[in-house]
Amino acid sequence: MINFINHFSQWAIPLIIFSILISAFIKKVKVYEVFTDGAVEGIAVGVKILPYLLAMLMAISIFRASGALDIILNLLSKPLSTFGIPKEVIPLALIRPLSGTGSLGVVTDLINQYGPDSFIGRLASTMQGSTETTFYVAAVYFGAIGIKNSRHAILAGLVADLAGFLAAVFICRLVFG
């Protein structure tokens, strides 16, 4: 299984590019010219994203470095653990929507500390794999097109994160006991 997955990820990108290029070439598309034409836009997108990303990372890093996040963690860990949610994974649930590298760090810690095949290790893996960094995705996706009013998207994304977290706890309790 793991071999298959590894092979699959190795093959996917070259195969996609290969098949797109072949079919374009057959249809007499000037592949090189068109490719570079499209690629030029990549730079503009990057430049456009920067201010939005900076704003988001700045707010998140202030919030974390000040200890505000820790205060929320302490407030939440007691009531949540009474619901059968292990307090070890609560930091992960809180950091996940805010920071991708931050949450990856927390998962790595949990896996190293408790072992990848422990309940905490499995639950943390499931949580990390089933959610995304909501604030980062919003900043990058909306920033690229200059959207300033995200309307209800963030709220809906956070509701989804919460649901993913609870679903992860539920299914891991069921499957891994």
Q: Report 92-111 residues binding another protein (CB under 8 A).
A: 97, 104, 107-108, 111
Per the rule left: phi > 0, alpha: psi between -120 and 50, beta: everything else, 146 is left
**For another protein, what does the binding mask look like between residues 45 and 74, x meaning CB under 8 A?**
xxx-xx--xxxxxxxxxxxxxxxx--x---
Q: Are 123 and 168 in contact (CB under 8 A)?
A: yes
Which residues lie below 8 Å from residue 98, measured CB to CB, with a gap of 6+?
A: 60, 63, 64, 69, 133, 135
Using CB under 8 A, which residues numbered 123 to 142 contact another protein?
Answer: 125-134, 137-138, 140-142
CA angle 17, 20, 25 (to 5 degrees): 120
Residues in contact with another protein, counted by CB under 8 A, come to a total of: 101
- Residue 119 burial by CB count (10 A; 0-12/13-18/19+): exposed, middle or buried? middle
Residue 91 Cβ vs another protein, minimum distance, rounded to whole Å: 17
| Residue 12 near another protein by CB under 8 A | yes
Work out how close the CB of 150 gets to another protein at its nearest, in angstroms, rounded to a whole number: 5
> How far apart are alpha carbons 52 and 138 in whole angstroms?
9
* Min separation Cβ 76 and another protein, Å: 16
Contact between 75 and another protein (CB under 8 A)?
Answer: no
**By CB under 8 A, is residue 177 in contact with another protein?**
no
Q: Does 149 bind another protein (CB under 8 A)?
A: yes
- Contact flag: residue 15 with another protein (CB under 8 A): no
